[in-house]
Amino acid sequence: MRSRRNWSSIERRVLVRLRRSYRLARVTPSDPSALAARHRLVEALAAVARGDRDALAEVYALTSAKLFGICIRICGEREEAEDVLQEVYVKVWQRAGRFDPARASPITWLAAIARNAAIDRVRARPLRPVESIDAAAQVADARPAADHEIEDAQERARMRDCLARLEDKVSGAIRSAFFGGLTYPQLAERERVPLGTMKTWIRRGLLQLRACLGDG
């Protein structure tokens, strides 16, 4: 297999998605379970919009680990992050009626509220830089929760669908190169095609995967 230093940026980005998708397929719950968890969160937010405080407690239980991670990563201080997290769920209580599951997943909507609240808090402090919003998305949750199941199931489904859209020979070459450990010359010999042809297959496949996954 080629040295990582020689991979193009496109190959590296798609490889990360491929490996993550296959890793998740081995360690995460089945798709029906994840979809059920998403439905549960959607229903809880709908109940919050109707003024159900027990539903707000359920939303908190399902999502507080991730949202706290976002808050503490941006704020940098645990006590302040805890204050911001309280503000987040006050906003959720006030705005739950605005959530539209047809436009965004529940965890995406909630994470946006948390990021904005944390950024507003940091901006109110003089001479304190706001950490990158992109970095907040990389926070590891303290425990598994419904939002992880939802996002992981969506990622696996997208990768599976995108790979299925490739020609069989291209999909097989990508799987063998990045997961089977075969080099391009080995793949070319196996498929009885010139080395340049094999490289073209894989590069074309990676470009198609990038477009399908929305990484354009």
Listed ranges 108-112, 179-183, 201-205; the one with the highest mean pLDDT: 108-112
- pLDDT reading at 24 higher than 50: no
How many Å apart are CA 174 and CA 163, to the nearest integer? 9
Over residues 59-87, the mean pLDDT reads 89
Tell me the two tokens of residue 14: 């798609």
Which residue has better confidence, 74 or 31?
74
How many Å apart are CA 74 and CA 178, to the nearest integer? 35
Which residue has better confidence, 134 or 182?
182
Helix (H, G, I), strand (E, B) or coil at 37: helix
- pLDDT reading at 16 higher than 70: no
Q: How much is the pTM?
A: 0.47
How high is the pLDDT of residue 15? 57
Task: Give domain status of residue 184, yes or no.
Answer: no
Over residues 105-122, the mean pLDDT reads 88
Domain CATH for 78: 1.10.1740.10
Task: Give domain status of residue 168, yes or no.
Answer: no
User: Closest Cα partner for 173 from 153, 146, 147, 198?
Assistant: 198
Domain count, the chain: 1
Task: Give domain status of residue 89, yes or no.
Answer: yes
Structural domain that includes position 46: 29-147
- pLDDT reading at 20 higher than 60: no
CB burial readout 175-194, b (16+ within 10 A) else e: bbbbeeebebeebbeeeeee
Over residues 91-102, the mean pLDDT reads 91
Task: Give domain status of residue 197, yes or no.
Answer: no
Contact assessment for residue 48 and residue 61, using Cβ atoms and an 8 Å cutoff: no
Which residue has better confidence, 132 or 16?
16
Task: Give domain status of residue 50, yes or no.
Answer: yes
Over residues 21-39, the mean pLDDT reads 57
The chain-wide mean pLDDT, for the chain, equals 75
Helix (H, G, I), strand (E, B) or coil at 50: coil
- pLDDT reading at 1 higher than 70: no
- Percent of the chain, pLDDT > 90? 19
pLDDT digit string, tens, across residues 38-70 = 888 999 999 999 999 888 998 998 888 889 988
- Percent of the chain, pLDDT > 70? 66
How high is the pLDDT of residue 140? 47
How high is the pLDDT of residue 119? 86
Report how many helices (DSSP H) and strands (DSSP E) the chain contains, helices first: 10, 0
Tell me the two tokens of residue 182: 């075969």
Tell me the two tokens of residue 7: 């991979």
